[in-house]
Amino acid sequence: MASFEYRGGRIFYEEMGSGIPLVFIHPPGMGSAVFECQKPLSGWFRVILPDLSGHGRSPVCQTNISIGGYANEIAALLDSLKIERAAVLGYSAGGLIAQEFALTYPERAAALILASGYPEVQSAAFKYEHLAGMYMIKHHPDILIPLLAASHTRDHAYRARLAEHMELADKQIWFQFYGQSLHYSCTDRLKELKAPLLLMYGSRDFANQHIRSYKKHIDCQSAVIKKVAHQLPTKKWHAFNQVILGFLFSEAKI
């Protein structure tokens, strides 16, 4: 993996392919390994897979993390690669960082893709899911990590790689990321988004209710992939990648 210096530490990332830069932003704990099935997109795009600080191979660079702080990390990553504009894709809570990046750096976001994303935690069930994640990573990471790996794939070798990558994450940063995600909201700023927006959900994911929330505030495209819940990048990666291809070729302007 390549890396660049950031706030006294280093941010590690993988980079492959050429064309429109496409940055993938992972959710709490998972690191870049969750996007292994998106590497084939490097046949069309310049795929960039960072481990946010405190995740994967990237050490803790900021002891009190925030969604805005992670958005700044993405900007610093682009600076290190001398990239002016990029498409950004955030998966689950990683989508909060993608949205914050597009809002804070509108001139740098060529397109915004949210996979199983949301602008804020709205329902009691979704709040409980975040609180449960915080409890489990604090008290039972040995249970949470294999559960997350198993929920993302039936491939035992890939499960092992996901779990190994998650083991590298700083558990306090993981806990903070859940907490920051729970309390973040950009709903009132959605109308300020300038980048073309694509929403992607699984038909079995209760998070797809957020399509209505977004469309109240902003024009956007949406795609619902059948026979899958939350884990689009790993469980339905063929369809997921095809939708990304079509959207970026149509909408992304560098």
String of DSSP letters for 192-233: G--S-EEEEEETT-GGGGHHHHHHTTS--EEEEETT--S-HH
Among the listed residues 96, 117, 85, the one whose alpha carbon sits nearest the alpha carbon of residue 195: 85
Q: Residue 254 has what pLDDT? A: 76
Q: Residue 203 has what pLDDT? A: 93
Q: Residue 62 has what pLDDT? A: 78
Q: Residue 70 has what pLDDT? A: 98
Q: Residue 90 has what pLDDT? A: 99
Q: Residue 252 has what pLDDT? A: 86
> What domains, with CATH codes, occur in the chain?
2-251 (3.40.50.1820)
Within 8 A by CB and 6+ apart from 70, the residues are: 25, 52, 53, 97, 100
First to last CA, the chain: 26
Per-residue pLDDT of 22-35, as tens digits, reads 999 999 999 999 99
Among the listed residues 179, 145, 173, the one whose alpha carbon sits nearest the alpha carbon of residue 159: 145
Residue ranges in the chain whose pLDDT is less than 50:
none
Q: Residue 35 has what pLDDT? A: 99
DSSP H stretches of helix in 81-119: 94-104
Q: Residue 167 has what pLDDT? A: 98
Q: Residue 45 has what pLDDT? A: 98
**What residues are paired with 185 via a beta bridge?**
120
